[in-house]
């Protein structure tokens, strides 16, 4: 089989397929990525993936190339290229999907099943099938098989998914895909077979729901902040109701990453194109609540410090979530940049993401050693809940800073322990008496 696009999704999927025993050719237009994968190196941080890559290389189950040419046409080709946000309108940029599809059309046979895994606006698959069939000169078998992996646990999620969703126009394609996933399906993983538009929608609907849940509890945090209530206790209390559940119900600085924010914006844009914008217009509020939480931290910092100009602030964490170096639409990075804009001297620390910053945002002071990063800071903000931050000793850490003031952007610190060590701790949506 073949996997086109070797980013977070494609690299993980290629290696998950190799783990199932399939022979995989991975294709990416980025030659640096291809060379590095052939050398056993993954260009991003994802636990367990590099070990899986080395195993697959040594078993000769994977190889990577920039060319779409294959010695024999693949039986199944997965399209895993990016679908980033285009511009301010929020719609998704489909140019990578169509470009990959058109190049693929010249490399596949009438028997090949092409499978879309990228997250796309509903209707993309039909357009892609038409375009590809025109270029190939025969009808392309196309199916849609959305991916629900979470960065940080990507390989495990791919191998042990909550469900497999297959959308297809013909039995031939769905049978091929079920064959690919046989070892996973044999373990009892639920299979949901649907039409193609439903398969495209499932992914954006799931992300819209998750984003709404996070913004719901963040909206409750806004109310808690003006009423003296405690959003963490509130979440605990409502989360015991099985219909609500306590997952994804911790208030803080909100969601980010390469999926949720751009997926809800693209969903709204597509629904508006289809004349059904009203149905999902609430997602604009979901997005606005999410962004307001970032601004709230900047406001709190200014209130606590009197003014931000020349104040020293340390941001703990830059990636959008722990166990990942992905900084796409990261709340922590966004807040660090807003504080910098407001005149603060911002130092950033992250266990893995600093290297990814490269020469972007030169005003942010990078510090790899946490104790050095903490020295002389007026304010510390916990932006990403890495385990090493959760495990910090507030007494020892307090000896390094100039001012024992911390904003817990993720509500993960033990308030009593930090206060006992002399810290003033500000927790979003919480009635914390310092």
Ligand X SMILES: NC(=O)c1ccc[n+]([C@@H]2O[C@H](COP(=O)([O-])OP(=O)(O)OC[C@H]3O[C@@H](n4cnc5c(N)ncnc54)[C@H](O)[C@@H]3O)[C@@H](O)[C@H]2O)c1
Residue 15 or 231: the one with the smaller Cβ distance to ligand X is 15
Question: Which backbone phi and psi does 348 adopt, to 5 degrees?
Answer: -120, 140
Q: If phi over 0 gives left and psi between -120 and 50 gives alpha, with beta otherwise, what is residue 143?
A: beta
| Cα–Cα dist 155/161, whole Å | 10
Residue 6 or 380: the one with the smaller Cβ distance to ligand X is 6
Strand partners, 25: 2, 63
Active centre residues (catalytic): 259
Query: Which residue in this structure is represented by tokens 């009892």?
Result: 188
Please identify which residue in 28, 46, 225, 287 interacts with ligand X, judged by CB under 6 A. 28
Using the rule CB under 6 A, give the single segment among 50-58, 95-103, 227-235, 236-244 that binds ligand X. Answer: 95-103
Q: Kindly give the interhelix angle for 231-239 and 196-227, rounded to the nearest 10 degrees.
A: 130
Residue 324 Cβ vs ligand X, minimum distance, rounded to whole Å? 8
Residue 147 Cβ vs ligand X, minimum distance, rounded to whole Å? 4
Please identify which residue in 19, 20, 23, 29 interacts with ligand X, judged by CB under 6 A. 29
| Cα–Cα dist 75/93, whole Å | 28
**Is 168 a binder of ligand X (CB under 6 A)?**
no
Within positions 43 to 72, which residues make up the interface with ligand X, using CB under 6 A? none
**Is 99 a binder of ligand X (CB under 6 A)?**
yes
Query: Which residue in this structure is represented by tokens 């609500």?
Result: 244
| Cα–Cα dist 395/406, whole Å | 13
Q: What is the CA radius of gyration of the chain?
A: 23
Per-residue tokens: 126:
């039909």
**Is 9 a binder of ligand X (CB under 6 A)?**
yes
**Is 259 a binder of ligand X (CB under 6 A)?**
yes
Q: Which of 259, 255, 264 is nearest to 290 (CA)?
A: 255
Count CA within 13 A, CB hemisphere, residue 215.
21
Cβ-proximal residue to ligand X, closest one: 7
Q: Which of 340, 362, 336, 366 is nearest to 352 (CA)?
A: 366
Residue 152 or 239: the one with the smaller Cβ distance to ligand X is 152
Residue 207 Cβ vs ligand X, minimum distance, rounded to whole Å? 9
Per-residue tokens: 374:
């903490």
**Is 325 a binder of ligand X (CB under 6 A)?**
no
Using the rule CB under 6 A, give the single segment among 96-104, 128-136, 240-248, 413-421 that binds ligand X. Answer: 96-104
Residue 4 Cβ vs ligand X, minimum distance, rounded to whole Å? 5
**Is 83 a binder of ligand X (CB under 6 A)?**
yes
Q: Which of 160, 163, 159 is nearest to 206 (CA)?
A: 163
140 DSSP assignment? P
Using the rule CB under 6 A, give the single segment among 7-15, 345-353, 389-397, 413-421 that binds ligand X. Answer: 7-15
Using the rule CB under 6 A, give the single segment among 147-155, 170-178, 301-309, 310-318 that binds ligand X. Answer: 147-155
Which chain residues interact with ligand X by CB under 6 A? 4-10, 27-30, 33, 80-83, 96, 99-100, 118-119, 147, 149, 151, 258-259
């Amino acid at each position: 089989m073949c996997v086109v696009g070797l980013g977070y999704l494609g690299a993980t999927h290629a290696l998950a397929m190799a783990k199932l025993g399939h022979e995989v050719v991975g294709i990416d237009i980025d030659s640096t990525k291809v060379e590095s994968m052939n050398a056993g190196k993954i260009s991003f941080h994802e636990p367990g993936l590099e070990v899986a890559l080395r195993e697959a290389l040594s078993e000769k189950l994977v190889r990577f190339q920039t060319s779409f040419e294959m010695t024999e046409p693949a039986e199944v080709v997965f399209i895993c290229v990016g679908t980033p946000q285009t511009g301010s309108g929020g719609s998704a940029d489909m140019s990578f999907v169509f470009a990959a599809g058109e190049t693929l059309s010249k490399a596949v046979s009438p028997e090949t099943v092409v499978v879309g895994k990228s997250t796309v606006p509903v209707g993309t698959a039909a357009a892609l099938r038409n375009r590809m069939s025109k270029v190939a000169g025969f009808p392309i078998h196309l199916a849609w098989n959305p991916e629900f992996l979470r960065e940080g646990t990507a390989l495990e999620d791919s191998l042990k998914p909550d469900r497999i969703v297959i959308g297809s126009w013909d039995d031939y394609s769905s049978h091929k895909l079920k064959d690919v996933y046989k070892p996973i399906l044999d373990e009892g993983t639920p299979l949901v077979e649907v039409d193609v538009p439903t398969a495209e929608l499932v992914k954006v609907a799931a992300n819209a729901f998750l984003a709404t849940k996070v913004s719901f509890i963040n909206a409750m945090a806004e109310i808690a902040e003006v009423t003296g209530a405690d959003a963490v206790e509130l979440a605990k209390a409502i989360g015991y109701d099985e219909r609500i559940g306590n997952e994804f119900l911790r208030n803080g600085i909100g969601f980010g990453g390469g999926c949720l924010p751009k997926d809800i914006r693209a969903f709204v844009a597509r629904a508006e194109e289809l004349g059904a914008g009203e149905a999902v217009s609430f997602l604009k509020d979901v997005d606005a609540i999410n962004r307001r939480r970032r601004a709230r931290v900047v406001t709190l910092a200014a209130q606590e410090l009197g003014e931000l100009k020349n104040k020293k602030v340390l941001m703990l964490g830059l990636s959008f979530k722990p166990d990942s170096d992905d900084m796409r639409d990261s709340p922590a990075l966004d807040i660090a940049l807003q504080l910098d804009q407001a005149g603060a001297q911002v130092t950033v620390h992250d266990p893995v993401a600093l290297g990814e910053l490269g020469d972007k945002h030169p005003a942010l002071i990078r510090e790899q050693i946490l104790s050095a990063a903490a020295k002389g800071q007026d304010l510390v903000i916990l932006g990403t809940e890495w385990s090493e931050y959760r495990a910090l000793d507030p007494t020892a850490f307090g000896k390094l800073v100039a001012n024992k003031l911390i904003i817990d952007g993720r509500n993960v610190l033990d308030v009593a322990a930090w206060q006992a060590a002399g810290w003033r701790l500000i927790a979003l949506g919480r009635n914390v008496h310092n």
